Amino acid sequence: MKRRNGLYLLALLLIAILIMGLCFGSASLSIKELLTKGLVRTIVFKLRLPRVLGALLSGMALSVSGLILQIITDNDLCSPNIIGVNSGAGLMVMVVLCFLGGNRFLLPIASFLGAFLTTLLVIAISSSSTAHSSRTAIVLTGVAISSLFSAFISLLSQLYPDVLPSYVYFQTGGFNGIYFKDLIIPSLIISTGLFAVCLLKNQLEIMLLKDDIAISLGVDTRKTRILAMVIASALTAASVTYAGLLGFVGLLVPHMARKIFGSRMDVLIAATALLGAILTIFADLLGRVLFAPSEISAGVLLAFIGAPFFIYLLFNRRNS
């Protein structure tokens, strides 16, 4: 009952932060102005609402993707940006933008392939490593691959400078300049992915135990891992297509959700999605109002929070 009440509280907090995202920015508006002034309504619904919805979808997608990756790799340091999934998706987005004319329908497909193949590559390389424990090898391999793919993204952005309005903004991630048309395909992918995670929740909960126990309970761990990787890759890819390489949401939020709500999977998935949405909307809102009328991307603020947290996790693991 306490967990359910906690989810209700998160839902109310999300609604409140959504309203704040519509009201506040370089110019603050009252709720009355939102409802009564025609020009204001146009600005809000054409500019701010797509931005807030984009942040909501991206927060849910990346946080749940991070949760899935942490479960299937048995590694609480995993997240889409840490192990290079973001960069793999971003590189394929750049390839489509540079060589295929930026086809809007190809972007999600290419981004998914980049994310999925990167996940496979990281797991394959790390599992063949004998120099480190498998959990550490995943992180080290992911960091190396992420750096390599980021270098390729940087190279393409310099060779084709007109492809991206702002390479820096794409690299850090953010929600400026998002319109409803940019969210049509990603929203379908993310909603489908979240529904698929809910269908897979029982298998994921059992996989929190050791593999041999999960197998004895009738779970096909290999099949579950592949399905989970597909879902995590799709969620990450959908976010990258419009939000860029937004980092640390998938690392921070699953830890927060587990700390507050425990490991019961149905509650954990819902809490992770809600917390992820709240965090990204709040980061975007803060970036708009801190130095208004100038703006800081949400990815920069999330990095300021996420990087120290990642270092803390590393030291905490070393001490334990």
pLDDT tens-digit series, residues 260-282: 898 889 899 999 999 999 999 99
* Average pLDDT of every residue of the chain: 84
The model's pTM: 0.88
Q: How far is CA 113 from the centre of its chain?
A: 16
- On the question of pLDDT at 283 being above 90, the answer is yes
Joined together, the tokens standing for residue 35 give: 């409802």
Torsion of CA 155, 159, 162, 164, to 10 degrees: -10
Q: What are phi and psi of 177, to 5 degrees?
A: 75, 20
Joined together, the tokens standing for residue 21 give: 């995202």
Exposed (0-12), middle (13-18) or buried (19+): which is 312, by Cβ within 10 Å? exposed
pLDDT tens-digit series, residues 129-147: 554 445 677 778 888 898 9
Mention every residue, 6+ apart, whose C-beta is less than 8 A from residue 8.
none
* Structural contact between residues 277 and 14, judged by C-beta atoms closer than 8 angstroms: yes
- Residue 199: how many other CB atoms lie within 10 Å: 10
pLDDT tens-digit series, residues 202-261: 998 888 887 788 888 888 888 888 888 889 989 998 998 888 888 889 989 999 999 889
- Residue 105 DSSP class: T
| Nearest residue to 169 (alpha-carbon basis) of 26, 300, 302 | 300
Name the packing angle between helices 49-73 and 249-261 (round to 10°).
Answer: 70
Q: How far is CA 191 from the centre of its chain?
A: 14
| Nearest residue to 29 (alpha-carbon basis) of 49, 11, 10, 9 | 49
Question: How confident is the model at residue 254, as a pLDDT?
Answer: 93
Q: How far is CA 123 from the centre of its chain?
A: 19
Question: How confident is the model at residue 68, as a pLDDT?
Answer: 93
Mention every residue, 6+ apart, whose C-beta is less than 8 A from residue 60.
190, 194, 273, 274, 276, 277
- On the question of pLDDT at 103 being above 90, the answer is no
